[in-house]
Amino acid sequence: MSFLILIIGFVLLIKGADVFVEGASSIAKKFNVPSMIIGLTIVAMGTSAPEAAVSITSSLAGQNDMSVANVVGSNFFNILVVLGVSSIIAKLPVQKDTIKKDTPFLILVSALLLIFGINLNIGRVEGLALLALFTYFLVNTIKSAKNASESDSSETGETAIAIETTSEISLPKTILVSLVGIVGIVVGGDMVVDAATSIATSFGMSANLVGLTIVAVGTSLPEFVTSIVAIKKGETEIAIGNVIGSNLFNILLVLGLAAVINPISMSMLAFIDIIFMVLITILLYVFMKNKSSLVKSQGIILVVLYIAYMAYTIMR
């Protein structure tokens, strides 16, 4: 039964991501909003829903170490596997704003989480600080979207054709399609996590290992599937925006809410994982700044780093 649920979950994830990217792209074109902004907000929020569900549920149950393991493990997977595999499939151009603002902000937020966790505890005050930063990020992103819409008066022929094609579908229908996609992603992600955890536990894996690997990978599958589908549709900006936005949401919104609900106590191993998360985020920034894009060789390095991290996690 667990294997059957796992397969159904994957089907829902893939189809949901396909429908959602289509809907999000249509909304972006209808309102003349850059795909990057859509990726940083709507797509990122939709694909971060499984992390939020797992972490908030864990926090309510008093299992805060699972909240940290889930978020940190998911952020590893997003950068090393999602962007790694995506850049192996196709060269990913990176916008100036992503290099100058979004990625440095992600580094700052990751470093702040590290500082908060020095005493191996993230209290309600720190949780509120993370939520305040999340509000700032969201407001700032929306302002950027408005400014981009106002300044972008001219369209290329290709984009004009895309707008003409999508304008035939009404806005309510486009929104409905996007919502159906989100539901598919969230439900599919939950099914995959539950089934995979059940299968892993039956093989005698510890709860901590399951949290850092199976649950973290499972809740990151929406980001992975959405980014791959986006690349195949030529929406490379959504793929990058999706990962950066999701990682920001995971730390600021998911851990922020979890800490406010129930102060988080973590182990030294979890703190070491946060240090590694900061380092790979800095590495991502270096890669982006170096060539203003992510290329195949960099993608291979990211994937190899993830395999090494997984080996280290299992050994410890």
Q: Dump pLDDT digits (tens) for 201-235.
A: 787 776 667 777 777 887 788 778 878 888 888 87
Closest CA to 223 of 85, 40, 48, 94: 48
Joined together, the tokens standing for residue 182 give: 């989100």
- Secondary structure (DSSP) of 177-226: HHHHHHHHHHHHHHHHHHHHHHHHHHTT--HHHHIIIIIHHHHHHHHHHH
Give 166's DSSP letter: H
CA separation for the pair 284, 37 (Å, rounded): 19
Q: Dump pLDDT digits (tens) for 33-51.
A: 776 677 666 666 666 777 7
Bridge partner residues of 93 (DSSP): 293
What is the separation of C-alpha 3 from the centre of its chain, rounded to a whole number of angstroms? 25
pLDDT tier, 107 (very low <50, low <70, confident <90, very high otherwise)? very high
The predicted structure's pLDDT at residue 204:
79
Q: Dump pLDDT digits (tens) for 157-191.
A: 333 333 344 445 678 888 888 888 888 887 887 78
The predicted structure's pLDDT at residue 150:
62
The predicted structure's pLDDT at residue 154:
42
CA separation for the pair 59, 230 (Å, rounded): 32
